[in-house]
Amino acid sequence: MNPDTDIHTEKNTKQLYAEFEKEAVPHMDALYNFALKMTGEPDDASDLVQETYLKAFRFFDKFERGTNCKAWLFRILKNTFINDYRKQSKEPNKVDYDDVQNFYENIKSTDIKSQHAEADVFSNLLDDDISTALAQLPEDFRTVIILSDLEGFNYEEIADFVDCPVGTVRSRLHRARKMLYAKLYDYAEEKGFVSAKKNKK
């Protein structure tokens, strides 16, 4: 064993760790938050983030410095999620977008007239209602909303993450927000914050 090599390796590892701590560790909450919203289980989210960070450190020497570390970590998390954590049985019931569109068209005609009156309808809902509504969206739609509206990724970064064209991201976001709006509107109706005159279909 060559002591010089050992010192050199130890120095490199320390440097790598310091860089990792500076570049990757600050994004841990964002990854945990995303993992929690995708798995719905704190234990699964913790395991997923842990595996992601261990993999990321193993391959950190391959990470191109100066590029988007957060996006790189999210890609590792996605692959880990797809391989190990995605449980089809947990997928919410499929949402029929035509139903949502019909509902949306129905409320639109009345809401246009009272837009300002109903603008703050959702402020009466609990934050938990909003999280629950989001959790009920199909995975593809939930993913783009979290990445765009919660994590602030742009379309190109989201497209890279979900592995589809930018146009598909735009389309999914458009639909996802309408689906979420319809769900929140349902909650608001159930709780009496809006009149129940607007029915689906």
Partner 1 sequence: MHIDLLEEITALVDGEISDAKRVIELSDIINSDNNLGFERFIQSKIKSVCSQRLAKEKTPISIVESIKSKIFLL
Site residues (vs partner 1, CB under 8 A): 17, 20, 25, 28-29, 31-33, 36-37, 42, 46, 49-50, 53-54, 57-58, 104, 108, 111-112, 115, 119, 122, 127, 130-131, 134, 145-146, 148-150, 152, 154-155, 170-171, 173-174, 177-178, 180-181, 184
Residue 28 neighbours by CB under 8 Å, 6+ apart: 49, 53
Residue with Cβ nearer partner 1 (15 or 171):
171
Q: Which among 197, 158, 149, 155 has a CA at the least distance from the CA of 177?
A: 149
Shortest Cβ 71–partner 1 spacing (Å): 16
Backbone angles phi, psi at 194, to 5 degrees: -130, 155
Alpha-carbon distance 117 to 131, whole Å? Answer: 24
Our CB check for partner 1 shows the closer of 149 and 189 to be: 149
Specify the residue, 90 or 111, whose C-beta has the smaller distance to partner 1.
Answer: 111
Label residues 189-198 b or e (16+ Cβ within 10 Å = b). Answer: beeebbeeeb
Q: What contacts 199, CB < 8 A, 6 or more positions away?
A: 103, 106
Minimum CB separation from partner 1 for residue 93, in Å?
20
HSE toward the beta carbon, residue 80, CA cutoff 13 A = 24
Closest distance of CB 123 from partner 1, Å: 9
- Whether the CB-CB separation of 161 and 34 falls below 8 Å is answered with no
Nearest-approach distance from CB 7 to partner 1, in angstroms: 18
CB of 47 to partner 1, least distance (A): 9
Task: Give the residue with the Cβ less far from partner 1, 64 or 127.
Answer: 127
